[in-house]
A and B are shown apart, each in its own frame.
Chain A
């Protein structure tokens, strides 16, 4: 293979995973990573914790600065302005150029804005980049009574939590009639909504942003909702989804749809140009139930792993395994393994259990034959390895229940929720389930259900 020059645009999880794994498999490759956002790879997922004083910026960087030199991964801090694909040359906004042999686009996403009047005002922003974090810190350091968050997804709830930390009252506008309607079934939505409201968030369901109003200095002063209400505020957080960050690639010979069009081996329409992570749009969904755009942290990492493998071995198609995801809504953790549908589906059966305190729930989706399709749990932790195996091997719901104690992942001495779940399953669905036994220590010292 010689020593080709691999240039990666973007130092997020996809680009960096690719660079690291390529170095592991190919000692000779020349590797350069370009980012205008930050000199070193950092975990985007930790931005909120920096804001809340739970971490410092350097803690977000998984590798110490010496790592890059040691692994001969060159880092360039610059924005790419244009790419000349014919001659394989990148042009930075400083005017400097860089030649590549193989180009990997890993430019990620950017917050989606929908053309609201006033969306360019000072104090209106998304939360995606390091610069977004810095801007938000600067604006919210000035005392203000209220902020508005628009969009009921994962970033929206993070923004609400961050602002609450600063003791800023939050009005949370959610277009859908319940929280995270695209993913959560109704019972889980209402559980989370209750929890959001417990944190004194003014949650407005079925409400959209119509317009943002300005003061004399061009700062945000208030928003107007679709119901015509005017809500005074000093900050507007936009979290209505993300779109691939590919503007600088438009009007080139590269084929772009929503993102950079790629096949299952991440090959774009131009030879030696690849795209991975949030900015890549597959021609065909990479698996059943998957989307053409996979804008999730975990899939970005897998794209990077797979493409790097392909440069070091016989190339394979990207084939994700059993779906999984996780998030946290204030204090309530969310995990899911396999597929659970947000709305009831004919022929499928859902088993649902909720703890009496209303902060813990478990749902298991079963097919016609009573075999597990997926689980969705709130407020407690389940073991990935266990459910990956159960779903892959199509265990019956009964078998999953019988072994549930092995699928628990909460810390020692925590409440044995699996006992309640097993009992409820026996009652609702039936089956020959012998409830698990508590260990000696659990009996004496453990939390009760």
Chain B
């Protein structure tokens, strides 16, 4: 077993190395035909002219190519901006599309080989490693050692992983052209699924889905005596693979709008953007169904399911962000901040983002129905601010990049507007609670330590009080890590759900209000 574990780790690291090197293996040679192919019609002539000096030149690296591209393209745009000729400015970023078209390299000539040697090895090594390690650790030791681990306790490996993830997200969101060799590698898969070319988002979706699946295997093995954890993990793997990854691609293949049926506004913050609405309305019956389905989820799905099962039905059983947090992020859950201060920050921030999303969407809709007479293009500015600050920087860079630094639920706890909405329902109108088992708590603190949402579970449990907190995503790990059988996630009658004055069972001398 030790041997297989070692081989698994070796293959995983080798795959990561190949994966990391690939973007550096490529050269670029641009032609006028490529520009005409990749660029919108209205920009074709101008760009073809501006990029003339690049044609036929060989650029040995992505960076060299992009530098040349900027050197020829940027001055034109800057000049327009300086003149405030806004309607002539080219807002589209063609860097990625042109790099992808102009590139040559192993990932383009041998996509399958490169895919197998990078992502393939990572997956294979990861799976081998998980299977081999699970045998060596008894289930009762499932949570031991996390604070003795360099990776899981902000040691060197943790910092390294965090840096890598943050770097990945920054490049993905703002410098995707550098990733074009990765995208070449997944081009055949995209062609097969959607019949169209791969984008950086397709690559990201594929990697994301595989990460959830491989680390989902880890969860199932780690919790092999825990049916709740296994089902929950199977559920997030299913929703990610089918709903978030495959169905939208197949929809594109069928010439329908790309749509994730489980993504809900305001997490899906562009649901009500004018171009989305236009897409829905112009896509026939299915498009209309998508629009109605999305609205039904907001007004009926969220309150109803949350009433019966708590917000966990979404956050730790369905959601993609939650899916990643619960699988890839599981090893970092104990890094969440449990202080009262963190809770105060949390409430301001998450409800602040909810308010921002609601205001932005409200303005968008009003503007849409007034045919843009009210606010004109102001909502676009708002959209790009939200997309940058919340959609990319917060949810992506901080949300995932900070796993090894601040735990696996930073986004879900401090930023997700849908989590805020679900949380309000859970707190005030739900049958869900974590029941405290009478007087059995020994205040050991395992529950609080391993709560990914940073809830001080012990503070409630030790006074015999049920836990009814808006942030609880119902992952169930507190109940699993408790050594005395004190905590149970339950749906039950609303009566007696909230203990205003809890009483610890076991002392008949007095009836004490804790």
Residues of A that sit less than 8 Å from B by CB: 13, 21, 43, 45-46, 49, 52-56, 59-62, 64, 66, 161, 165, 199, 297-298, 301-302, 305-306, 309, 316-322, 324, 326-328, 330-331, 333, 335, 381-385, 388, 409-415, 445-447
Contact = CB atoms under 8 A, between A and B. Distances in A.
Contacts of A322: 506
Interface string B455-489: 00011001000000000000010011101110011
B443 A333 contact: no
10 contacts: A49-B444, A59-B448, A316-B509, A321-B505, A327-B484, A382-B485, A388-B438, A410-B488, A412-B489, A414-B226
Contact of B147 (A55, A318, A327): A55
A316 B490 CA distance: 37
A320 B509 contact: yes
A69 B207 CA distance: 50
B434 to A, nearest CB: 11
Contacts of B444: 43, 45-46, 49, 55, 60
Contact of A446 (B141, B227, B484, B485): B227
A321 B507 contact: yes
B488 to A, nearest CB: 5
B340 A413 contact: no
Contact of A306 (B226, B476, B481, B510): B510
A302 B506 CA distance: 8
Contacts of A199: 138
B449 A54 contact: yes
B507 A384 contact: no
By CB atoms of chain B within 10 A, which of A49, A161, A383, A415 has the most?
A49
Interface of B: 138-141, 143-149, 225-228, 231, 338-340, 435, 437-440, 442-446, 448-449, 458-459, 462, 476, 479-481, 483-485, 488-490, 504-510, 512
B227 A414 contact: yes
Contact of A320 (B446, B485, B507, B512): B507
Contacts of A302: 506-507, 509
Contacts of A49: 144, 444-446
B123 to A, nearest CB: 27
A52 B144 contact: yes
Given A43-B445, A305-B512, A306-B509, A53 B149 contact: yes
B227 A54 contact: no
B507 A305 contact: yes
B510 A298 contact: no
A169 to B, nearest CB: 16
By CB atoms of chain A within 10 A, which of B231, B442, B481 has the most?
B442
A13 B443 contact: yes
B436 to A, nearest CB: 9
Nearest to B480: A411
Given A319-B509, A320-B508, A411-B228, 8 more contacts: A13-B443, A49-B446, A59-B445, A64-B340, A298-B439, A305-B504, A333-B483, A384-B437
B442 A384 contact: no
B474 to A, nearest CB: 10
| Nearest 10 A/B pairs, CB to CB | A384-B438, A331-B140, A381-B485, A53-B148, A413-B227, A321-B508, A46-B444, A302-B507, A53-B145, A52-B144
B506 A383 contact: no
A331 B438 contact: no
Contact of A316 (B140, B141, B510): B510
Given A381-B485, A412-B489, A445-B231, A318 B509 contact: yes
A301 B340 CA distance: 24
A52 B226 CA distance: 22
A301 B509 CA distance: 13
Given A43-B443, A388-B505, A446-B227, A64 B339 contact: yes
Contact of A330 (B140, B445, B462, B490): B140
A190 B479 CA distance: 27
B503 to A, nearest CB: 10
Contacts of A297: 442
Nearest to B483: A328
Contact of B488 (A43, A59, A411): A411
B479 A411 contact: yes
A160 B483 CA distance: 16
Given A45-B442, A62-B443, A324-B440, A53 B146 contact: yes
A289 to B, nearest CB: 14
A412 B228 contact: yes
A222 B338 CA distance: 44
B439 A324 contact: yes
Contacts of B505: 321, 324, 384-385, 388
Contact of B437 (A61, A64, A309, A383): A383
A411 B483 contact: no
